[in-house]
Amino acid sequence: MPQMNMVQAINDALATAMRSDERVVVMGEDVGKVGGVFRVTAGLFDEFGDERVIDTPLSENGIVGTAVGMALYGLVPVVEIQFSDFIWPAYDQIVNELAKFRYRSGGEYPAKIVIRTPVGGGIRGGHYHSQHPEAAFIHVAGLKVVCPSNPHDAKGLLLASIADPDPVLFFEPKRVYRAAKGEVPQGAYTVPLESAAIVRPGRHVTVLAYGAMLYEALDAAAKASAKGVEAEVIDLRTLWPVDIGTILESVKRTGRLVVVHEAPKTCGFGAELMSLVTERAFYHLEAPPVRVTGFDTPFPYTLEMEYMPLSHRILPTLLDTARA
């Protein structure tokens, strides 16, 4: 199998989907001749032309609104929002139109769209290019939310998202766009949505992470192991619907839970994960669940490595929770 980084794997997924289904179109700002700000769509314009790789005006609201109309007429738009920080002008279209068409039409018009967008910090982008807004979309009934951590899963999850009948927000952690590399099968394959992966077995504490923060959790788990604490690290992959079965099975074995995410703590996805576990496995918990997250401030330019929940912040939480 060829080695790819995440940018290459996502590009390969888009090309694979477009070759197999002529209804799939890619659209967004600079996705055509330029190939996207991160070069994720490079080469697609040359292969598929301007009717299927569409450069749009700088209007996120217009991009998603147009894609909704295209989807209602049977196309499968894959929309790129250049940065997740730019998605808010389209929030009305996503929440009040895209997420609700299946329900308001009794299932007749599902408005199938995938919205791809880079998320997170680590590139010194500051508060306009580093947000991680998954909780705002997980809260919206009718949407699915995905955040891969590696090239293999990125391709398989994107192909599964394009094939899924529901609209999907596909968050791509740009900090590992080119840093994460691995073997990626050629041709079409899918990684099932709503399937988490245990990437490091352990017996003392369960750690939930996703996207770029998975690697920080793994690094902290390796350091904790040297101190006698074995953390089981789970990559959620699909954030909603979340694989609660895999999570509960792990927590019932370890009796402890730590959640890591890059977004601010208050009303973040970690709070929902802790509630889901507490409601279902309260009597299995040997210590209070704990969150290691970003801070409740705008994302800083100069202090982003202090803002993000990196390994040096996760490790003491793992040790304290395991020994509580």
In terms of Cβ atoms closer than 10 Å to its own Cβ (0-12, 13-18, 19+), residue 225 is: middle
For the CA atoms of 108, 113, 114, 116, what is the dihedral angle to 10 degrees? -150
Residue 27, C-beta contacts closer than 8 angstroms, at least 6 positions apart: 53, 54, 55, 56, 63, 66, 67, 77, 78, 79, 80
Residues annotated as catalytic are: 129
Q: Domain 3-183 carries which CATH code?
A: 3.40.50.970
Splitting the chain (324 residues) into consecutive groups of 10 residues, what average pLDDT does each group show?
96 98 98 96 98 97 97 96 97 97 90 96 86 97 98 98 97 97 97 97 98 98 98 98 98 98 97 98 98 92 89 97 92
- Buried b / exposed e over 66-86, threshold 16 CB at 10 Å, is bbbebbbeebbbbbbbbbbbb
Q: For residue 1, what pLDDT is reported?
A: 86
Q: For residue 128, what pLDDT is reported?
A: 87
Q: For residue 266, what pLDDT is reported?
A: 97
Q: For residue 122, what pLDDT is reported?
A: 85
Q: For residue 299, what pLDDT is reported?
A: 84
Task: Check if 3-183 and 197-323 are the same fold.
Answer: yes
DSSP summary character for residue 182: E
CA-based nearest residue to 52, from 81, 84, 20:
20
C-beta of residue 98 within 8 angstroms of C-beta of residue 144: no
Q: Where along the chain do its domains lie?
A: 3-183, 197-323
- State whether CATH 3.65.10.10 applies to domain 197-323: no
C-beta of residue 110 within 8 angstroms of C-beta of residue 165: yes
Q: For residue 193, what pLDDT is reported?
A: 97
Retrieve residue 9's tokens: 């794997």
